Structure formats: C-alpha cells, structure tokens
Structure 1
Amino acid sequence: MNQSTSDLHTPVLLERCLELLAPSVSGDNSIVIDCTLGLGGHSQALLEAHPTLRVIGIDRDPRAIELASERLSAFGARFSAHLAVYDQILDVLAELGISKVNGVLMDLGVSSMQLDEAGRGFSYAKDAVLDMRMDQSSGRTAAEILARYSEEELTHIFKKFGEERFSGPIAKRIVQDRKLAPIETSSQLNKIVTQIVPSAPGKTTGHPAKRIYQALRIAANDELGALERSLPQAIEVLAPMGRIVVMSYHSLEDGIVKQALQAGSVSSTPIDLPFELPGTGAILKIITKGVERAGEIELSANPRAASARLRAAEKLEVKE
C-alpha cells in the first residue's frame, strides 16, 4: 500500500459500513460496487475483511482513480477502477458483463484529497483558482459559473444548493464586482462573502463562505442530479439480500437518499385494494433506524465525520 496515500484519507464511519455490508458480502465471490472510490479507504477495508470479495470502484476524478489503483494494486483482479460518474453504474457493470452485485457503497460529497489539494479550489481555507470540478477535463468551473451566470441564476444556486440566507445580496455583489475584475480565486470570493454575511459573536459555525462553496461545487458537478439518477440504478443491480449503504454530508443529499430508500420499502398498491398487485410490493427493507451519525470517539479522531449521515437498506426477494 502507498503510505502517503493512506495518510491522506481517513474513511468515514468505516467500521459501521463494514458491519452493515458484511451479511451480504461474506459469501464466496461476492461483488461490491464502490460508487465513490476516492482514495480507496473503504474498498481496501472491504477487500481485507473478505478474502474472496471483488470490488468495482467508480470515480469521476482521474486523480482518485490513479491513486486508488496504486494503493489497491496488491489485490490484483479482485479490484478494478473505472473512470465514471456514479449515475453510470449500469454502463460500468454492462461493460464487465455483470448484472447483479451483493453490495453498493456510496460515500457522497467532496473527498479529503480534493479538499486537501489547494489547486483544486474546493476549500475556502486555501487560496486557489476556483475550479471545483471533480473531473478537471470537462464541465464548467466554479469561476466560470461566477463569471457567466446572471444575478438571478446565482441567487437560485446559492439558495437551493447552499441554503444560504444571504443568497441575493451575495449574488448581487458578485455581479457588481466582476465588472471590475474576474472573480477567479478563493480569496476573492471569501472577501465578497465575508463583507455580506454578518458574523455571529461567540459562535464558531465555520467560515461564512462554506455554504457558497458547497453550492458552487454541487452546481459545477451536477451532484444532486447524478445522485437522483444513480440511486434507482444502485437498487436495481442489487441481488436479493444485497445491501446498499449511503453516506451523505448535507440535508439536500440526505433527503434524496431517504426518499429513494423509503420509496423502495413500501408497496405501491393503492391502499384501498384488499390485495397487493403483482410487481408493486416493497423491494427494500430499511436496516438503519433513521439516520446514523458518527460517535464521539470517531469525531475526536476524524472531525470530517461530523456532518456524515448514514442510511442503509437490504434488497428483498421479490416474488413474481
């Protein structure tokens, strides 16, 4: 294992993920698809825990694919990495000739590597060009969004994806300031936001620009759209008794995950019918009670776990 790669990343809720997936992947030649490979911390732990397990890793970030592949090379054919967005699950599995898997893991949001590499522009804590694309070879950067979107469009993004109370004034200031000079770096954006968002005396709720960064990142990568498209695919490819485990990091992601899992756990037969129509029964069983959070021990060792929300479900044997 590449030690420097390991040091970059502490997997969130690792033991709980292993515990939840274990019943579905302990059998011989089971398959897990890690939809958000990152640096491969969760995948490595799964491969070590289950000697015959095969892990298929997906990530849209070429750098993550490179580093995780190096880190997990010792596992040989039991691990493969694929450059794709997690709404391309069906395509990746079709290329491999696989129709069903025993486990699906999704660790959403921005990875530790992306936050820690200043040149990516994900973090308000480091001055860098505002890129924020998880795949830097395609798509529109955060700086381009700030340069091209109208005041109304920026307000909408900041309010919808960042849940920022001062969306309108921030968008207005951005449009005013960009007439004088392009807003291309995190220091420029931070200055604008801190001038608009009032500080709360005595409160340490993080940088005032954190919600704006979240909104720009989600917009640049179509994160919520990809999540909405990916969950039905993930549920579809699960074999009976297979499990899906999803970790989200803000209420927007968690709401989408909650809705998808709950929809799969109830019958769609009209409630006034005395019998269940064929093909309308529940296909999932929720196996987490509400949303689970990291405990105090993990939080003390890994502060980035503070915002993690975990949900899991098991695929039912559906009768035809």
Structure 2
Amino acid sequence: MQPLPYPIGTPGVPWGASEISAWLARQQRQRSYADEVMSIIDRLRDRFDVIQYGQLDYPPDTYPLYALRSRDGREDRPVALITGGVHGYETSGVHGALRFADRHAAEYAGRVDLVIVPCVSPWGYERIHRWNPRAVDPNRAFRPGSPAPESAALMALVAPFADRVRVHIDLHETTDTDESEFRPALAARDGRAFAPGSIPDGFYLVDDTESPQPGFQEAVIREVSRVTHIAPADDRGELIGSPMVAPGVIRYALRSLGLCAGMTNAVYRTTTEVYPDSPRTTPDQCNEAQAVAVRAALDYALEH
C-alpha cells in the first residue's frame, strides 16, 4: 500500500518558508523543560559545577542551556563527554544522562573529568520533536557554520577542551514515531518520496565508520544486555538500513554526516539507540540502559 502524502507541502517539492511555518504551527508544547529537566539539574548543583553555556531564543520562549562539570577538573586529565536530548523527543537520552549524573558520576571522581549535557534541544524536548523550530535536525548540524543554534552552542562549549575528550557517548532513542512522523516529514521537507522502513526492537549502537572501535562497542553492548534486550538484525542483516557489523552494532560516518558523536576526536565514541516502544521494556529500563551504557563506555575507556 502506498503511504499517504505528508499533510504539508507538495510531493516532490522541497519546503520553503511557508511550509516550514505551516509545520511549526502544528507543534504544541506537551511537557516542561523547566519542571522535568532544569529542576533535576538544580538538585545536582551541590555535586557539580553547573554551567549555562548558551540560551536558545525562540520567541516567545527562551531556553537556558546547561552542562554539568566535575568540580575537581584538571587540565591534565582526560574528559568524558556525555550528551543527551540532541533529539529532544528521545526521552531516555535526557533522563538517562541525568540518572548517570545522580547515581554514578561520583564513582569516576579523580579519574576522568565529566562534562554532562543532558538536554541539548529543550524546544524539541517540550514538543516531543526531532527538529528545532526551523525544521532543522540538530543531529545533522554538527559542522562549522551550523544552521542549528543547539549544535553551535554545544560545539562552542566543547571547543576549549576538545583535544582532551577521550570518550563521547551520545544518548538517543529510535521510536515508532520515527516511522510514522519524522521520516515522512523529512522526506516531505526535502522533496523526496518516503520509503517505509522498519524500527529495530531493542537497544543498539552506532559506531564510527571512519574510526571503528569494535571492542569498545562490544563492551557497551555486553553490559546493556544485562538491563534490556539487544536489537536483532532484520531479514537483510541490517538495522535501519545499515549492515549490522556485530551484535547490536552498525556504523555511520559520524563526522561527515554532522552527527553529535563525531564532533570531537575522541578515541572512543558511540551513539546509543534505545527502543522505548517495545513491549519488552519499560521507561525505567530505558533510562537505566542509557546510564549503564555510559558506565560501560567510561570503564572501557579508562581501562584502555
């Protein structure tokens, strides 16, 4: 069955300003960044240096951007960068990062300097959306002259210590709405035909094609498998259209695609993907899987 055309735009014609305005008019606030994210950050102020590294001005709304940093940071110590909510609708990325900060960060004191950015895209968090209000995907915009203020602000934060980043784990989800809303919207925005795909049932990782670290990815998968199930390959041996190179692992060209996990030269880097819509998991398990993935990544990087 041929999928129905996306309700905005003309099939085959990329969006212009009027289509973006029509799309933006459909977006409604569904939850509160202040109540659900900033309030938790405030409770962590006695344990971290809380840095406001920027502000998003999307009238009539403004969103302060926050990072949590180790209080005992030293310039001769490696940095671990943990990012969540690059796609604001991916809930466990945000709350998994905050869970790690609250429950586990103290285990790494004196061994690695932590920089935790739990919600890169608060406008998207509130509207449960992948894009920002300009219909730009921040996770394709980590490059010079970025069109996404969310991405530009994070790159500016990291720039002074980018050479010290040894491990970067970027926390994401793949949801059913990727297939029902976000991929159709992307095709419509770019004037392309939408080709239906499938959603992997379980947790998986995205390694870097240009600098793969199979042992690192395997270590993260092994620990997460104790918390939630790992996504199997589809009938073609793929996950979301990419060959599965190891159980639960695919590879993308992180830097050339403008992905968050490719923004530094960290030796160890990965993007997590949790499937929160699976009947085999719960929101709490998804948050825990993200926190466990961070711990496994840090443990491996410190050991090696």
TM-score normalised per structure 2 = 0.26
Please state which structure has a larger fraction of its residues in helix.
1
Q: Which protein has greater RCO, CA pairs closer than 8 Å, 6+ apart?
A: 2
> Which structure is higher in strand share?
2
What is the TM-score of this pair, normalised by structure 1?
0.25
